[in-house]
């Protein structure tokens, strides 16, 4: 970085020396053609040439001195250089006004005694056009240079933005992969491990065989440890506030078949594929989580699962998902839970524009109910 700045400083000083050299040659050339210069004219011209050193930071000041030098002498190169830097730094309106000022001074200077004033109208037109072109050209080049610099800066910013976009896209893809893995672990492995632990605990409480009871206790302990480790892993994999779950209405039947712990199940959904994906996912999550909780907190209780759809009118349908269980028949399991629970279910149902209810039944059991509507708003 320091080396780059040093090279840049050296380059600018070299350019300044070249500009001063050219302006000095221009001054000497005109002085040779006009030996009758007064000392003050030479002084103004020299000051104007030396002022070119500050042309980058104060181009308007340099132009003002150059206009004085033009009016009192024969300075040509200094105003051209000043106009170039004005075009690079200021707006088109200011640059245009400065160009007009240089043109006006150049035309007015030709009216001084001893100048080569045109004698015809055609000569005046040619002279004015030449003066205007000579003044506008460096200004236009300066404006073009500024535009080019702005385009280069925009291109660099666009490249950086594109690079950042690609980085964020790769990061998002990685997060989605991690989220999908966390959902798979939570939905499949976690659900199955919970059932293994609960069944092992139930088996140990019912058997009279000490060897079987010891094996059941070992299976229960190992299952709980696997659940703890699995939940720790999914907690690291799952992005913050990611409660989304995969699943569909058709997969609920496979979920119930794998669980094999319910007493009755009724699934009566017309055209399951016609329901939006977010509603299907929320319904699957309700059944999965409610079934796991029922087995966890009401071991041995009778469980009912009901999923029905019905037409409200010609343009809307209603889907009702109900999971209810009777009071537990054995002691409540101490198996730890994942912490998502009913709050997570309510959040996902709300995201699908559904209504979520839960509570105790009159018999002392528990129910979870979700209602969704497809078509007109609920």
- Give me the pLDDT at residue 131, please: 81
- Give me the pLDDT at residue 370, please: 94
The alpha carbon of 27 is separated from its chain's Cα centroid by a whole number of angstroms, namely 57
When mean pLDDT is compared over 215-224, 225-234, 317-326, the highest value belongs to: 317-326
Residue 101 inside a domain? The answer is yes
Structure tokens of 47?
């000051």
- Give me the pLDDT at residue 16, please: 66
Residue 164 inside a domain? The answer is no
- Within 10 angstroms of residue 346's Cβ, the number of other Cβ atoms is 18
Complete DSSP assignment for 285-343: HHHHHHHHHHHHHSTT--EEEEEEEEEEETTEEEEEEEEEE---SSPPP-----S-HHH
State the average pLDDT over residues 110-122.
69
10 Å CB burial of residue 278 (0-12, 13-18, 19+) is middle
- Give me the pLDDT at residue 15, please: 65
Residue 105 inside a domain? The answer is yes
State the average pLDDT over residues 341-359.
86
Sign, Cα dihedral of 231, 237, 242, 245: negative
Residue 189 inside a domain? The answer is no
**In the chain, % of residues over pLDDT 70:** 69
pLDDT at 185 over 80: no
- Spatial CB neighbours of 75, under 8 Å, sequence gap ≥ 6: 26, 27, 30, 45, 48, 49, 66, 69
CA gap 127, 133 in Å, rounded: 10
- The residue ranking higher by pLDDT, 245 or 120, is 120
CA gap 279, 375 in Å, rounded: 12
Task: Name the band, by pLDDT with cuts 50, 70 and 90, for residue 355.
Answer: very high
Tell me which residue range forms the domain holding 77: 2-117
pLDDT in tens, 19-30: 667 666 666 666
State the average pLDDT over residues 338-359.
81
User: By the 8 A CB rule, do 127 and 118 touch?
Assistant: yes
- Give me the pLDDT at residue 101, please: 86
User: By the 8 A CB rule, do 189 and 251 touch?
Assistant: no
- Give me the pLDDT at residue 45, please: 67
pLDDT at 150 over 80: yes
The alpha carbon of 202 is separated from its chain's Cα centroid by a whole number of angstroms, namely 52
The mean pLDDT value of the chain amounts to: 76
- Give me the pLDDT at residue 372, please: 93
- Give me the pLDDT at residue 186, please: 63
pTM for the whole thing? Answer: 0.40
pLDDT at 40 over 80: no
What CATH number does residue 270 fall under?
3.30.565.10
10 Å CB burial of residue 275 (0-12, 13-18, 19+) is buried
CA gap 19, 329 in Å, rounded: 99
Residue 230 inside a domain? The answer is no
Lowest average pLDDT, out of 3-12, 45-54, 196-205, 242-251, goes to: 3-12
Task: Name the band, by pLDDT with cuts 50, 70 and 90, for residue 158.
Answer: confident
Residue 9 inside a domain? The answer is yes
- Spatial CB neighbours of 79, under 8 Å, sequence gap ≥ 6: 63, 66, 67, 69, 70, 102, 135
| Number of H-type helices and E-type strands within the chain | 11, 5
Residue 239 per-residue DSSP state: P
- The residue ranking higher by pLDDT, 34 or 284, is 284
- Give me the pLDDT at residue 73, please: 63
- Give me the pLDDT at residue 368, please: 94
Q: Which residue among 117, 143, 169 closes a domain?
A: 117
Q: Which residue among 58, 90, 117 closes a domain?
A: 117
Number of compact structural domains in the chain: 2
- The residue ranking higher by pLDDT, 359 or 206, is 359
- Give me the pLDDT at residue 346, please: 87
- Within 10 angstroms of residue 203's Cβ, the number of other Cβ atoms is 16
Closest residue by Cα to residue 198 from 180, 233, 224, 179 = 224
pLDDT in tens, 300-337: 778 888 999 888 877 788 999 999 898 877 665 444 44
Q: Which residue among 99, 117, 135 closes a domain?
A: 117
**In the chain, % of residues over pLDDT 90:** 5
CA gap 47, 69 in Å, rounded: 9
Sign, Cα dihedral of 224, 230, 232, 235: negative
Structure tokens of 328?
């537990």
When mean pLDDT is compared over 67-71, 85-89, 123-127, the highest value belongs to: 85-89
pLDDT at 239 over 60: no
CA gap 319, 278 in Å, rounded: 13
* CA angle (100 as vertex; 95, 103 as ends), nearest 5: 125
- Give me the pLDDT at residue 104, please: 84
């Amino acid at each position: 970085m320091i080396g780059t700045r040093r090279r840049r400083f050296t380059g600018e000083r070299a350019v300044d020396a070249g500009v001063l050299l050219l302006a000095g040659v221009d001054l000497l050339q005109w002085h040779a053609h006009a030996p009758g210069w007064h000392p003050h004219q030479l002084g103004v011209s020299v000051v104007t040439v030396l002022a070119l050193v500050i042309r980058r930071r104060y181009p308007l000041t340099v132009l003002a001195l150059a206009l004085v030098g033009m009016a009192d002498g024969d300075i040509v190169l200094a105003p051209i250089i000043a106009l170039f830097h004005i075009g690079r730094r200021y707006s088109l309106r200011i640059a245009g006004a400065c160009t007009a000022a240089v043109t006006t001074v150049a035309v007015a200077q030709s009216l001084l005694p001893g100048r080569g004033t045109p004698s015809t109208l055609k000569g005046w037109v040619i002279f004015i056009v030449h003066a205007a072109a000579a003044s506008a050209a460096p200004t236009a080049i300066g404006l073009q240079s500024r535009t080019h610099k702005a385009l280069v800066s925009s291109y660099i910013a666009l490249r950086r933005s594109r690079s950042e976009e690609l980085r964020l896209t790769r990061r998002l893809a990685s997060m989605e992969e991690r989220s999908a893995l966390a959902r798979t672990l939570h939905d499949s492995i976690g659900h199955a491990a919970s059932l293994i632990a609960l069944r092992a605990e139930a088996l140990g409480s019912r058997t009279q065989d000490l060897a079987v009871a010891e094996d059941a206790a070992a299976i229960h302990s190992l299952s709980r440890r696997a659940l703890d480790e699995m939940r720790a892993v999914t907690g690291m994999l799952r992005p913050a506030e990611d409660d989304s779950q995969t699943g569909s209405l058709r997969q609920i039947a496979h979920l119930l078949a794998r669980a094999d712990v319910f007493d009755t199940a009724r699934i009566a959904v017309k055209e399951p594929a016609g329901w939006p994906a977010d509603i299907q996912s929320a319904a699957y999550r309700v059944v999965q989580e409610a079934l796991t909780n029922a087995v966890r907190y009401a071991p041995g209780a009778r469980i009912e699962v009901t999923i029905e759809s019905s037409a409200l009118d010609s343009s809307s349908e209603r889907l009702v998902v109900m999971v209810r269980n009777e009071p537990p028949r054995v002691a409540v399991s101490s198996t730890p839970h994942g912490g998502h629970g009913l709050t997570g279910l309510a959040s996902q149902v709300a995201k699908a524009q559904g209504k979520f209810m839960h509570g105790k039944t009159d018999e002392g059991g528990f129910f979870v109910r979700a209602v969704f509507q497809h078509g007109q708003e609920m």
